[in-house]
Amino acid sequence: MGSASGCGLDASYDRRAQTIRISEFASDSRRRFSCLHEFGHHLIATDDEIQDWLYARGGQHDAAAEEQLADAIAATLILPDSVVEEHLTSGWTVRSLAAFVADQEFASREACCVRAAQRLMKNGMVILSKGSDVLFSAPRNLPFRIRRNARQADSSLFARAARTGFATASYESVNLGGFVSGMQFDGQARTTADGYTFSVLTESLAEVDRGGRPLPARWTCRECNGDITGEPWCERCSRRQCPDCGCACPPSKAGPSVVAVVCQNCFLMIPTACVECPNCN
């Protein structure tokens, strides 16, 4: 248990023996979060109502939902509401999140991300990364999350923030770890002095006309500041490209090379060569 949530090998739970094993190599705060995450799995496994709810989701046991629930149990035990509300008040920003993390002596960065995601006002996720690699993601009302160590393009929000300390993005897709998200996000990212980047992404909502029909996306090229209408995509990294400037990613440093379509069930982008969505089947 735990690998899907980002806990990796820091802890594991043996259901038969009802035993939790914890790595001695992780930091104290990370071991605390991982241990309580696995304890969350124990609580879930012994609660019939939760088991019924998990099996009712799509007719099979929903492992992703269980991981998110275990994360929520661990983070809430470590960071009660009274502590979170001191920093993440209404209208909080990624700067508030960075200050919140810095002020926590016993809570891990992952626990802080989970509690922050619970306070998002829109569908989205809070992400911990280093350089171009995502270390942990905490989604809110999303059917997916970013896998641990999923590398993002050099032109991504995460990589730009790692280089400059702060970055913003609009209508940005992310690499989920083999698949590019069909959903697009607006977001901000800030890198702290120790090199970790915290990002807050919320779902980009398409503009509509008076009849409720979606309007073509409008965005600004970072290179020429030109106003672009529509979504011309780079086939090399599955990101938008300016008709005049081309794609921002060098061929040698391109993101995941995917020619894909959007699965209408889970909303992930899957390779066109796939007969069935690997995420759903």
Give the pLDDT band of residue 266 (cuts 50, 70, 90).
low
Distances (CA, A) of 48 to 15, 41, 71, 130, 257: 15, 13, 19, 39, 43
Mean pLDDT along residues 193-207 = 87
Cα(174)–Cα(193) distance, rounded to whole angstroms? Answer: 24
Cα(88)–Cα(50) distance, rounded to whole angstroms? Answer: 29
40-71 pLDDT tens trace: 988 988 888 888 888 877 655 577 788 889 99
Which has the closest alpha carbon to 13: 72, 57, 36, 236?
36
- The helix/strand/coil state of 261 is strand
Is residue 175 predicted with pLDDT exceeding 70?
A: yes
Task: Provide the β-strand partners of residue 14.
Answer: 19
Cα(98)–Cα(85) distance, rounded to whole angstroms? Answer: 14
Chain centroid, CA 231 distance in Å: 23
Sign of CA dihedral 116, 192, 166, 180: negative
- Spell out the domain ranges in the chain: 79-271
The tokens for 70 are: 């275990």
**Could you identify the residue written with the tokens 């905490």?**
138
Amino acid 258: pLDDT? 38
Amino acid 45: pLDDT? 87
Sign of CA dihedral 125, 128, 130, 134: negative
Cα(8)–Cα(108) distance, rounded to whole angstroms? Answer: 14
Pairing relationship of beta strands 197-203 and 185-191 according to DSSP bridges: antiparallel
- The helix/strand/coil state of 118 is coil
Cα(167)–Cα(53) distance, rounded to whole angstroms? Answer: 39
Half-sphere exposure of 37 (CA within 13 A, CB side): 29
The tokens for 43 are: 């609580």
Cα(181)–Cα(254) distance, rounded to whole angstroms? Answer: 16
Compute φ and ψ for 131, nearest 5 degrees: 65, -125
Compute φ and ψ for 171, nearest 5 degrees: 50, 55
94-126 pLDDT tens trace: 999 999 999 998 899 999 999 999 999 889 999
Is residue 259 predicted with pLDDT exceeding 50?
A: no
